Amino acid sequence: MPKTKRQPKAARKCWAESLGVYGATVRVAERDPGGVLYLLWLDKRGKQQKRSLGHRDRREGKRQALAAATAMMEASAAGRGVVIAAPQQQERKQQDAAAPLTLAQGIAQMFDPQRGAYATVTDHVRQAKRYAEAAAEILGPRLTWEDFTPGEMMYLVRHLAQQSRDGSGATAAEKTCVILYAIASWLRQEELIPDTAAVPKPRWKVRLREEWRALTGHRVEVKRPRHDVDEVAAIFAALPQGDPRLRLLIELAAELRAGQAVRAKRSDLILDAVGGFGLGRFIVHGNGKKHGEIVDLHPELRALVDEVLSTGYLAGAEAAFQRGEIPDYYLFPGGKMKSGSVPLSRATAGCLSDWTLRGLFKALEAIAGIPHKQGRALYGLRRQATDLAPEFANDARVLNRISGHTDSATRERIYQDPNNERVRAKAAEARRSMRAFLAEGDRPQKKAA
């Protein structure tokens, strides 16, 4: 059978956009896909003129085209011609923009406090910036995002693996690459680098772990430490002796993402007769792919909330809120408390930082007599809760609501412990029951065909 001719792939189209009004229109366009931008316009004789901008920045190109169209319109109204030209300072800026963006420049733009990706600077943002800047230093000041290929990524991984003395550091290396690819994604979205620049290959994490194992001799295993049931019980018993903000947070959202719950405000606490018990609800807002959850208050939880708002650390803020003096306040405010209460200025300023929250939890573990383990903290509670929940509910939808997951796959694959001893014991009981069933002599016999 003759082979059919393969159809050619559709060619990429050149980007272009027209700005201005009829009679004073300037078009900014590429001559080649992803190439240098040009301004095109008609002069007084109707002849097309063009001028290279010398850069690929579409946002800047649109700004320049609009400025040129405005100048044409003003000149037309004044009865004079106009020459589209950039001042010397702007030409220098264009020359700089024409050069491909280096890693360091892209990182600086991503984390710029005014024009960058993050409205606020959190501990997570600071750590991500440190990882990215360290990687850029290793890869060199001249490496651009267009040249950040999978080979350069693997060079970075090998460099970090060779620096490791005991084979540790694979998680940090993977996190560094994740951050770099996230920065590249943002830069592509902002049209600061070409659409083809720094795009990760499929299964790159698998290859990273294989390289790390080959170079260090250590198998890369994702560690998800958790507290055991007795430790969780000890932590809950120690809550009244710990920081009251941490107590309320754990009681409300131990099974959820603490980083989302800690940002909650008074407006996220609904104390009307709603919910499964008719006692109110606590709302945890999502963030991107990390979905939030709504927690119905049960009687004991509502009693704790009432205590905190009436005589506890939030009493002053709640009184001001009820009087209408403040529109809202944080349920878990940062800073130090004074005589068991949070000053009103701090209740409205911001929530507990990640670093402070980890410190408070570490102190709670000490009160409970539990050794602190790196990487566990509040996630240790959540992971154990995900393991424990199936013993109290069977419906997958209920289990997902408890842990704040949108589907069962993530909960079962990542959060539940595959080596859970209770699950093993139940599996053994099931096997025993199956063997007993097979050994029974009075089983229904299969009918002959």
Do 382 and 224 meet the contact criterion of CB atoms below 8 Å apart?
A: no
- Opening angle at CA 448, ends 447 and 449, nearest 5: 115
Q: Is 144 in a helix, a strand, or coil?
A: strand
For tokens 């004991």, what's the residue? 300
Neighbours of 110 (CB within 10 A): 24
Give every CB contact of residue 178 below 8 A, 6+ residues apart in sequence: none
Beta-bridge partners for 338: 341
Query: CA distances (Å), 417 to each of 272, 385, 412, 422, in order?
Result: 37, 11, 8, 10
- Which residues are CB-contacts of 377 (< 8 A; sequence separation ≥ 6)? 358, 361, 362
Q: Which of 290, 96, 289, 60 is nearest to 190 (CA)?
A: 60
Residue 377 pLDDT > 70 = no
Query: What is the tens place of the pLDDT at every residue in 111-168?
Result: 998 888 887 787 788 899 999 999 999 999 899 999 999 999 999 999 998 888 888 8
CATH code, residues 229-422 = 1.10.443.10
Q: Is the pLDDT of residue 395 over 60?
A: no
Residues 85-103: tens digit of each pLDDT: 443 444 444 444 457 899 9
pLDDT at 401: 41
Q: How confident is the model at residue 296 (pLDDT cuts 50, 70, 90)?
A: confident
pLDDT score for 134: 94
Q: At what angle do helices 299-310 and 315-322 cross, to 10 degrees?
A: 80
State residue 132's pLDDT score. 94
Burial of 153 (0-12, 13-18, 19+ CB in 10 A): buried
- In angstroms, the CA 387 to CA 87 distance is 66
* DSSP per position, 162-221: HH-SSS--HHHHHHHHHHHHHHHHHHHHTTSS-TTTTPPPTTHHHHHHHHHHHHHS----
Tell me which of 73 and 113 has the higher pLDDT.
113
Contact 52, 38 (CB under 8 A): yes
Average pLDDT, the chain: 77
Tens-place pLDDT, residues 379-391: 656 665 555 544 4
Task: Give long-range contacts, CB 8 A cutoff, 24+ apart: 76-82.
Answer: 76/23, 76/24, 81/43, 81/44
Give the pLDDT band of residue 277 (cuts 50, 70, 90).
confident
Q: Could you tell me the pLDDT band of residue 422, with boundaries at 50, 70 and 90?
A: low
At 410 the pLDDT is 47
- Alpha carbon dihedral 399, 401, 407, 408, in 10-degree steps, equals -10
* Six-digit token string for 195: 């659409």
Phi, psi of 336 (to 5 degrees): -85, 150
Cα 248 to the center of its chain, rounded Å: 25
Question: In which band, very low, low, confident or very high, does the pLDDT at 79 lie, cut at 50, 70 and 90?
Answer: low
Cβ pair 176, 132 in contact under 8 A: yes
